[in-house]
Structure 1
Amino acid sequence: MALNGIDISNYQRGLDLAQVPCDFVICKATEGTTIVHNTCDPWIQQAIKLGKLWGFYHFMNGEDPIAQAKHFVASCRNYFGNGIPVLDYEMYGRIGTDKAKQFLDYVYDQTGVRCIVYMSRSVCTEEDWSKIAPNHALWVAQYANNNRTGYQSSPWLPDGGFGAWGSCAIHQYTSNGRLNGFNAPLDLDIAYMTREAWGKFANPSGAAAPDVPPAEVAEPSPEGTTLDLAAAVMRGEYGVDDERREKLGDRYQEVQDLINYIDGASASQLADDVERGMFGVVPTRSDVLGDRFSEVQAIVNQRAGVGAARVYTVKSGDTLSEIGASLGIDWHTIASKNGIGAPYTIYPGQKLSY
């Protein structure tokens, strides 16, 4: 038996679990040593009322792993024993398996519950997980493609295994999922377990778990997804240094972490992220990638078979439909190849591959 579910964070702000079909939901709770996602607790409270299984995750960054573990445990104290805890190990949080183990050991020592560990399949073999795999189940991200999809009963996994793990407990197989009740992309997951097994991961001792009272949730300061805020920062709307920190308030660290990741990641890695939908479409994509946009989009285009594409430079007054007509190409194709979404805005001087 398997369970179908979603994993969500501030990127899906506004999602109503009562309207979206899922057996389980895993919510981003914390990041680093200060960030608490104010979307997490309302979703968990709703999941409890709806009788859905649930989990909660910490997104590791580059800070001290013990300090991060203390933040996770303190912020989620009443969740342990009720939902499955997860360590999200990716991007700028890949600080080594020794430090990941420090985090995991601290959480276990304080709560008696083992975290599941989330990572891309490639990370399973790029780092040595032999000291962690025996005690912690794997939640792996591996996509066959980036096509839109609903739930799949047997999503594709390549041969070759998962490094130190013999199998995965949960498989995230797309970031471009589409489900009734939410009009935007979703991460879709399949958990290879029963409801009873889920309960064992959440509460291995079977001891009475604490109630999960609603947390006091502060209003976002400011509102918007991490991606939208990062794009606004790159446009100069939040200033620099102290001005930026003050204007972003409790959203500063998550936004700055994304900006720092974009600055330090390889163009190939950023192209992978684009294909997973992480940076949305133009103009948000070009805003948030800033000076990296051209090199990253070129890789995306090449992978899509547009590597030797011709280029049209947009002139003042041009529209996509007029450009398409003059080139003899469906304007929707031009929009798709260049990551342009509704309202399909183009700018003079913009170079369009076709």
Structure 2
Amino acid sequence: MTVKGIDVASYQSSTYSTSGLGFVMVKATEGTSYVNPKHAAQVAHARAAGVAVGHYHFARPGSMATQVTYFLQHAGVKAGDILAMDWEDTGVSGADKDAFIKALQKASAAHRVLLYCNLDFWLHRDTTSFCGDGLWIADPGAAAGHPRVEHAWTIHQYSSTDGMDRNVAHFADAAALTTWAAKSTSGGAPSYEAFPGAAWFTAGRKSPIVAAMHARLVAVGCDHYKSTANKDVIGSGDVASYEAWQRKYSTDHHKGWTGAALKWPPGKESWDALHVPKA
């Protein structure tokens, strides 16, 4: 389940439609010399609609600490707001990215801090998988809610239509998103299926968990579902796909798995790494 949202900057209206939305992410600043002239109005419009509000900073080469200070001076952050770093400039290194997020977390401990980047940056420029409180991934080539990343994600920017960037957040509903953003101890963060044990994965097993597993395997590029008509039921396609996932994960993360570790049924380590969402 997901929550719909948009992100806006100066080239979008300050009176955008909020129909059906649960959150709006607004560009606040860039580098140390630019403030979105519509930021205050765009944020006010979101607050008036009662949706969760986020502010993001477009990072440029230079001092990350200085940019964090500049961002917070101009963002007008309130309790429960989400903060994000926009990592798109090739002159901003992975180390810079980590430094910015850590500095922002330290300066705004009461707020959730996200990393926004596109698929290329995450897969080919990032080396630490550090994204603060969550990954906001831009992958317009994937269906909404199915970004092609192995890492757990919080927001997926999946398309740009009618001049507006469309997103979905990985929460059961808007209330769960708001609870998470407020850093409430009552929960609300994305949750994943606990490993049910190897014996659970028997041929013919019918469960929504199977369909959720299928969706994650498709998202990470391990889709061999050619013989499974009912995606709620474990079939030979599930076996082939999961074994492909184990091989891929072992290679990508230098696990050195062999034998049973690369075969069906799933093991706890690979299952936990797959991040199958709660059905």
* TM-score in terms of structure 1 length: 0.47
1:156 deviates by: 5.1
SS at match of 1:11: coil
Q: Does 2:168 align with 1:187? A: no
Contact 1:143 1:156 in 2 (8 A): no
* Structure 1 unaligned spans of 5+: 146-151, 179-184, 207-354
SS at match of 1:10: coil
In structure 2, what is the equivalent of residue 81 of structure 1? Answer: 79
SS at match of 1:172: strand
Deviation >3 Å, runs of 4+: 17-21, 154-158
* C-alpha distance after superposition, 1:159-192 (max 9, x if no partner): xx34xxx2211111112x13xxxxxx21111111
SS at match of 1:115: strand
Shift in CA distance, 200/106, structure 1 to aligned 2, threshold 3 Å? farther
Bigger proportion of residues as helix:
1
1:131 deviates by: 6.0
Provide the identity percentage: 23
Distance, in Å, in 1 between the alignment partners of 2:159 and 2:64 is 29
Contact 1:104 1:114 in 2 (8 A): no
Q: Does 2:136 align with 1:139? A: yes
In structure 2, what is the equivalent of residue 109 of structure 1? Answer: 106
Partner of residue 128 from structure 2, selected from 127, 130, 135: 130
1:23 deviates by: 2.4
* TM-score in terms of structure 2 length: 0.59
* C-alpha distance after superposition, 1:258-290 (max 9, x if no partner): xxxxxxxxxxxxxxxxxxxxxxxxxxxxxxxxx
In structure 2, what is the equivalent of residue 118 of structure 1? Answer: 116
Which residue type is aligned with residue 29 of structure 2?
T
SS at match of 1:22: coil
Correspondence 1:175-254 to 2 at 5 A:
175=160, 177-178=161-162, 185-193=163-171, 194-204=173-183
RMSD (Å) for aligned C-alpha atoms: 2.3
In structure 1, what is the equivalent of residue 11 of structure 2? Answer: 11
* C-alpha distance after superposition, 1:325-349 (max 9, x if no partner): xxxxxxxxxxxxxxxxxxxxxxxxx
* Structure 2 unaligned spans of 5+: 186-279
1:22 deviates by: 2.4
Q: Does 2:147 align with 1:169? A: no
Q: Does 2:93 align with 1:96? A: yes
1:60 deviates by: 0.6
1:11 deviates by: 1.3
Contact 2:137 2:147 in 1 (8 A): no
Shift in CA distance, 201/116, structure 1 to aligned 2, threshold 3 Å? farther
Distance, in Å, in 2 between the alignment partners of 1:201 and 1:19 is 21
Shift in CA distance, 80/205, structure 1 to aligned 2, threshold 3 Å? farther
Shift in CA distance, 72/41, structure 1 to aligned 2, threshold 3 Å? same
Distance, in Å, in 2 between the alignment partners of 1:143 and 1:4 is 15
Distance, in Å, in 1 between the alignment partners of 2:146 and 2:134 is 19
